[in-house]
Amino acid sequence: MPAHPNPHQDELAELALKRVVASGAEYGDIRLLDSTTQSIRGEDRRIASIREAQDSGFGIRVLYHGAWGFAASSILSLEEAPRVAELAIEIAKGSASLASEKVKLADEPVHRDRVVTARRIDPFAVALENKTALLLETMEYLHRQPGIVRSSASLWARQDRKLFVSTEGSRLEFDLLAVNGDFDATAVHDSRFASRSFNTPHLRMGYELIDDANFLAEAPRIASQAVEKVKASTTKPGLYDLVLDPEHLSLTMHESCGHPSELDRVLGYEANYAGTSFLTTEKRGTFRYGSPHVNLVADNCEPKTLAATGYDDDGVACQQWDIVRDGIFVGYCTNREVAPIIGETRSRGSNRADSWGSVPIVRIANIGLEPGTATLDDLLADVKRGIYIEGHGSYSIDQRRYNFQFGGDAFWLIENGKRTHMVRDVIYHGITPEFWGSCDGVADQSHRRRYGFITCGKGQPGQSGWMTHAASHARFRNVNVIGGHVG
């Protein structure tokens, strides 16, 4: 399979970058991207939509006298490339006329490479009728459970074929694939309703991810738990020990560790939208973020994960580094622009754009919780009164990432070391370093699971970031649980 379907891509890139070099700009790059996305969505026992979209275009970034300009177009013509390049130069010159502090990029070796993410089964080659049959059958299984009134099921796949060329001489080709599937069931009881969902992680794999997920085996459990959930009793507010599953933790880590570790937020770039961060630069190396059990590692090299693309959109090679080590905050997610501002000589390679039409910005890496030594049973055994939480629910956090609140998809009461029955409307609230400071146990490698996000919102205009967060189950002591029906 070719890395990019456009036979004129190198000519187009050369035409554009020639203009950039001739302008006197100190740096420029071009990304040509051709994305194919297939989404199949089922709803209430029918296939509601099947859509396949081709999205192609290119974006040119120019750094002129220390200031950025960016222009992009979906018209992939040899006439359009120089016009867009000139526009990006003109915009950069406008920015430069007002720049008081000049952008200086961290050095990066020149790379010439081709990256193809692993896949065993091409999802676009799997017969459409097999996919729709799987979704219809899954929804039928869900509706066999009395009490289920609504269902949904979907499959999604995206292939990105990208070429990155910079004025420094880097030339990188990418063929990146990602796949995901999910379904949920909604039950009604006593004028209430509640849903339970099943999600494969978004991973850079082929359709084998869906085959291995075994929707039909999981559907009866999900349906039965949706009914159990809607009939469950509410929780009494108070302090509880929590045992959180890897899927649930992926969101907790994302919001309370991932975002505050983005250096552009720390430096104020997102002050008007996504917010800033409590992990200010003087805290690096000394601030106690969590208990000694908490080791949060960024790893953009782990195969099949969303941010493991070989290189980021600065052309920087993917890396692994610590964010929190033994509970102490030690590292940030950076790009070539912000890394030098805190004295780092190389970017961590976390600069990504969500399309050819977007400018790359600092993104959360694949941040995961390093496994500990316990088993899940060990974690539960030492809980007298607690709650075990699976999956994602409601979530909200302040713009500096201190005050957060999370729900979940399913909740079980833990009594005297045993998971007993489901409860509903569980919401827990905390302050980030206090919450992570209460972590007193993490399960071992055998419990480790990966979950990913493709809808992480940041930037103006808004962009969707992709990253994976892996974890084993973890236990947190004396967390403030409030009811979900307060007000």
Cα distances (angstroms) measured from residue 334 to each of 225, 283, 318, 319: 41, 16, 11, 11
Sites for another protein among residues 119-138 (CB under 8 A) = 127-129, 132, 136
Q: Of the two residues 212 and 487, which places its CB atom closer to another protein in the complex? A: 487
- Residues within window 174-193 making contact with another protein, judged by CB under 8 A: 186, 188, 191-193
Q: Does residue 1 interact with another protein by CB under 8 A? A: no
Nearer to another protein, 91 or 244 (CB): 91
Question: Among residues 400 and 419, whose Cβ is nearest to another protein?
Answer: 400
Tell me which DSSP letter residue 42 carries.
E
Nearer to another protein, 84 or 203 (CB): 84
Q: Is 38 helix (H, G, I), strand (E, B) or coil?
A: strand
The answer to whether residue 232 forms part of the interface with another protein (CB under 8 A) is: no
Which amino acid type is present at position 346?
Answer: R
Contact status: 240 vs another protein (CB under 8 A): no
Q: Which of 48-56, 162-170, 283-291, 375-383 is the region at the interface with another protein (rule: CB under 8 A)?
A: 48-56
End-to-end CA distance of the chain, in Å?
A: 56
Which one among 3, 15, 76, 454 touches another protein, defined by CB under 8 A? 76
Shortest distance, CB of residue 106 to another protein, whole angstroms?
17
| Bridge partners (DSSP) listed for residue 148 | 187
* Alpha helices in 121-241, H assignment, sequence order: 128-143, 208-213, 215-231
* Contact with another protein (CB under 8 A) among 168, 378, 402, 444: 402
Least spacing, CB of residue 102 vs another protein, in Å? 10
* Bond preceding residue 461 cis, omega within 30 of 0: yes
Using the contact rule CB under 8 A, the part of the chain among 94-102, 165-173, 213-221, 343-351 near another protein is: 94-102
Buried b (16+ CB within 10 A) or exposed e, 179-191: bbbbbbbbbebee
Return the residue of 399, 444, 454, 464 that touches another protein, per CB under 8 A.
Answer: 399
Q: Whole-angstrom Cα distance, residue 478 to residue 239?
A: 5
Residue 263 vs 318, nearer CB to another protein: 263
The closest alpha carbon to 190, from 161, 225, 218, 229, belongs to 229
Cα angle vertex 447, ends 441, 448, to 5°?
Answer: 95
- Within 6-35, the residues that bind another protein by CB under 8 A are 6-9, 12
**Are the C-beta atoms of 466 and 307 separated by less than 8 Å?**
yes
Which tokens go with 30? 């071009």
CA distances from 59 to 12, 33, 113, 141, 245 (A): 11, 9, 20, 46, 40
Subset of residues 346 to 385 that bind another protein, contact rule: CB under 8 A: 357-359, 361
Binding footprint of another protein, residue count (CB under 8 A): 94
What is the residue type of 291? S
Asked if 487 interacts with another protein (CB under 8 A), we say: yes
Q: Which of 3, 56, 417, 454 binds another protein (CB under 8 A)?
A: 56
Assess 68 for contact with another protein (CB under 8 A).
yes
